Amino acid sequence: MTKASKVSLIKISPRFRGPWTLLKKEMLRFWRVGFQTVAAPVITALLYLLIFSHVLAGHVQVYQDVPYTAFLIPGLIMMSVLQNAFANSSSSLIQSKVMGNLIFVLLTPLTHFEFFFAFLCAAIIRGLVVGLCIYLVAMWVVDIHVIHPWMIIAFALLGSALLGTFGIIAGIWADRFDQMAVFQNFIIMPLSFLSGVFYSIHSLPPFWQKVSQLNPFFYMIDGFRYGFFGQGDISPLISLCIVGTSFLVLALVTLKMLKSGYKLRV
Amino acid sequence: MNPAIKINNIHKHFGDLHALKGIDLTIEQGEFFALLGPNGAGKSTLISILAGLIKPSAGAISVMGFDVVSQYQKARQLLGIVPQELVFDPFFNVREMLRFQAGYFGHGPENDDWVDEVLEGLGLADKAHTNMRKLSGGMKRRALIAQALAHKPPVIVLDEPTAGVDVELRQMLWEFIKKLNRDGHTIILTTHYLEEAEALCSRVGMMKQGEIVALDSTANLLNKFAGKKLRLTLGDVFLPTEIHALLRGQEKGVFTFALSDMAQIELVLSVLRTANIKVIDMQLNEADLEDVFLSLVGQQ
């Protein structure tokens, strides 16, 4: 037995090897195509940063003492975290369903909770890896200060968990790739673009401010941004409660779907 | 000792279709059992219920005493299922897939020796580091079987494992499966190659339209349902109605009769003599499982 094998035997008890293996497989799955799953979203976010900051910097001032380019970065990071967390769980599940290899997981003794845990953690990890890469590259462009790091961590974790869970629901529900595209194009994309990534909702007319407050992405972006600048459109604690509650509700729905075998076991 | 598989009054409805109509079946530990039947008989539905992929409408199935619904974790630990469809995960190589599959069942690096044995036994050792996507159809089939065996299950279900694979692989596969059976693994096999079932399995269950129509040892079935096969070359003639019941096949003037005892040979020949039909050639063979199968489920 190799040294590495001995180490992994010590660390992972047989009781947790099942979910750990599924998590490891899900992480390797996105890492094997890292150019598509990590590098591409980082480049996209940097292009947004380049274009919007070039066009709007000097014309728009959202918070006092915060240049527009700096204002933009937390929103872009969080938007990418959320989109990639959703993409990870949803694309893995729909691919496995369409190709038929989900059967390898369904035949195992993994519980519905372990299944959920593994897909959720993989989604969170991909979201955080993409977000961290954008942050590291953006640091070279703009000087960004962090005022409440725990707030940043809390919103990044809860936001990616919420979207990762939503991705599991979408992956279970959809039977075809075009059904998955409906989620991406008609839910995730509009909600993330209309969440205040590029602007403060206080710059909108009152009616659209109210509409924006119905968008869960708004709370995740605003709370995450609060961690950087110590100012936001709404109290971060309210945002944290809304995001946390939304995650719990979606997690319960997902666990119920998995336990009943909805669309997975006839 | 608990039976390997105990199926108790299983029903399955798909809307108006009553796919399984109260199946009762017990397979003892260490058996090599064949489940046969035409397409649509319900074999795959039954296996899917056993695997937990389909929920039964009524009834229960247990694997070595563990119910597949209420004690699914323990039941699935004991079960290795080779699915019929040729599915694979394109992101990983063969060894990675086997390690993952063993890992889902709680096995770690201590299981690597068994994984190596499976790879060797199925002729996959030199493909261990090849991506699943790059394997040929036959190799993918081997990898699929290897995945089902990765956690060393005591009960192995092979759903059409040799469909569309060459003779060499079939021979290699059966040698390996026979070795597993000798080592104490219970094997349940569905196949369209009846000669395989006849050569390998000690007991056979035949299904037709959601029911088990025959369940016995292979030898008993052969004796009970079709003792002898009489092939007569008669040319282009109309067969007398008295012997239509014995007729099992007719092709280009050659008529095949299934006979339960030797006395029926004289009956057939005397009827032909009376009808003034000349026998051009005659062959008498032992019946095989295909004859049993046709006499039970082929006349639809």
Instruction: Check residue A112 and give its pLDDT.
Output: 95
Residues of A in contact with B81 (CB under 8 A): 107
Instruction: Check residue A9 and give its pLDDT.
Output: 47
- Structural contact between residues A120 and A165, judged by C-beta atoms closer than 8 angstroms: yes
CA distances A164 to A81, A83, A103, A117, A158, Å, are 10, 9, 21, 10, 10
Tell me how far apart the alpha carbons of residues B19 and B208 are, in angstroms, rounded to a whole number: 10
Host H or E run for residue A191: helix A189-193
The distance of A35 to chain B (nearest Cα, Å) reads 14
Lowest mean pLDDT among B113-122, B166-175, B268-277: B166-175
Ranges of H-type helices in chain B: 43-51, 72-77, 94-104, 112-121, 137-149, 167-182, 194-200, 218-225, 263-274, 289-293
Which of B165, B161, B167 has the alpha carbon at shortest distance from B188? B161
Using only the alpha carbons of chain B, give its radius of gyration.
23
Tell me how far apart the alpha carbons of residues B287 and A247 are, in angstroms, rounded to a whole number: 65
The burial class, CB within 10 Å (0-12 / 13-18 / 19+), for B218 is: buried
- Structural contact between residues B215 and B33, judged by C-beta atoms closer than 8 angstroms: no
Contact B92 A109 (CB under 8 A): no
- Structural contact between residues A94 and A177, judged by C-beta atoms closer than 8 angstroms: yes
Q: How do strand B58-63 and strand B66-67 relate by DSSP bridges?
A: antiparallel
Q: B226-298 in CATH: which number?
A: 3.30.70
Residues of A in contact with B55 (CB under 8 A): 261, 265-266
Instruction: Check residue A124 and give its pLDDT.
Output: 97
Among the partner residues B54, B96, B108, nearest to A265 by beta-carbon distance: B54
Q: Which of A54-58, A76-80, B197-201, B205-209 has the highest mean pLDDT?
A: A76-80
Instruction: Check residue B244 and give its pLDDT.
Output: 87
Among the partner residues B53, B88, B89, nearest to A106 by beta-carbon distance: B53
The region, left, alpha or beta by phi > 0 then psi within -120 to 50, assigned to residue B284 is: beta
The burial class, CB within 10 Å (0-12 / 13-18 / 19+), for B245 is: exposed
**Interface test mutation site (partner A, options B86, B91, B114, B155, max chain A beta carbons within 10 A):** B91
In chain B, what percentage of residues exceed pLDDT 90? 45
The distance of A194 to chain B (nearest Cα, Å) reads 35
Domain residue ranges of chain B, discontinuous segments joined by +: 5-222, 226-298
A-B C-beta contacts closer than 8 Å: 99
Instruction: Check residue B215 and give its pLDDT.
Output: 85
Output the DSSP codes for A41-102: HHHHHHHHHHHHHHHHBTTB--STT--HHHHHHHHHHHHHHHHHHHHHHHHHHHHHHHHSTT
- By three-state DSSP, how is residue B183 classified? coil
Of the two residues B298 and B33, the one the predictor is more confident about is: B33
Among the partner residues A9, A101, A111, nearest to B110 by beta-carbon distance: A9
Tell me how far apart the alpha carbons of residues A242 and A143 are, in angstroms, rounded to a whole number: 30
Q: Describe the strand order of the beta sheet including B254-259 as a list of residue ranges.
A: B247-251, B254-259, B228-233, B281-286
Residues in chain A: 266
The distance of B116 to chain A (nearest Cα, Å) reads 13
Q: Is B226-298 the same fold as B5-222?
A: no
Tell me how far apart the alpha carbons of residues B91 and A25 are, in angstroms, rounded to a whole number: 9
Is any Cβ of chain A less than 8 angstroms from the Cβ of B164? Answer: no
The distance of B56 to chain A (nearest Cα, Å) reads 9
Contact A28 B91 (CB under 8 A): yes
Residues of B in contact with A15 (CB under 8 A): 106
pLDDT digits (tens, 9 = 90+) for A74-132: 999 999 999 999 999 999 999 999 999 999 999 999 999 999 999 999 999 999 999 99
ipTM, interface predicted TM-score of the complex = 0.86
Q: With 80 as the cut, is the pLDDT of residue B257 above it? A: yes
The burial class, CB within 10 Å (0-12 / 13-18 / 19+), for B171 is: exposed
Is any Cβ of chain A less than 8 angstroms from the Cβ of B262? Answer: no
Residues of A in contact with B70 (CB under 8 A): none
User: Residue B225: which pLDDT band, with cuts at 50, 70 and 90?
Assistant: low
What is chain A's pLDDT, residue by residue, as a tens digit (266 residues)? 444 444 454 567 878 899 999 999 999 999 999 999 999 999 999 998 888 877 776 666 767 777 888 888 999 999 999 999 999 999 999 999 999 999 999 999 999 999 999 999 999 999 999 999 999 998 888 888 889 999 999 999 999 999 999 999 999 999 999 999 999 899 998 898 888 888 778 778 888 888 888 899 999 999 999 999 998 889 999 999 999 999 999 999 999 999 999 999 98
Ranges of H-type helices in B183-239: 194-200, 218-225
**Interface test mutation site (partner B, options A23, A104, A265, max chain B beta carbons within 10 A):** A104
**Interface test mutation site (partner A, options B46, B89, B112, B158, max chain A beta carbons within 10 A):** B89
CA distances B46 to B178, B190, B218, Å, are 23, 11, 21
The region, left, alpha or beta by phi > 0 then psi within -120 to 50, assigned to residue B285 is: beta
Report angle CA B108, B109, B110 to the nearest 5 degrees: 90
The distance of B145 to chain A (nearest Cα, Å) reads 12
Tell me how far apart the alpha carbons of residues A127 and A38 are, in angstroms, rounded to a whole number: 9
- Find the mean pLDDT for residues B187-212: 86
Rounded to 5 degrees, φ, ψ at A7 are -60, -45
Residues of A in contact with B87 (CB under 8 A): 99-101, 103-104
- Find the mean pLDDT for residues B197-221: 85
pLDDT digits (tens, 9 = 90+) for B94-131: 999 999 999 999 998 888 899 999 999 888 899 999 99
User: Residue B299: which pLDDT band, with cuts at 50, 70 and 90?
Assistant: low
Which residues are CB-contacts of B6 (< 8 A; sequence separation ≥ 6)? Answer: B25, B26, B27, B61, B62, B65
Among the partner residues B73, B91, B106, nearest to A17 by beta-carbon distance: B106
Among the partner residues A29, A32, A103, nearest to B87 by beta-carbon distance: A103
The domain made up of B5-222 is a member of CATH 1.10.10.10: no
Report angle CA A261, B4, B81 to the nearest 5 degrees: 45
Is any Cβ of chain A less than 8 angstroms from the Cβ of B114? Answer: no
Q: How far apart are the first and last CA of chain B?
A: 39
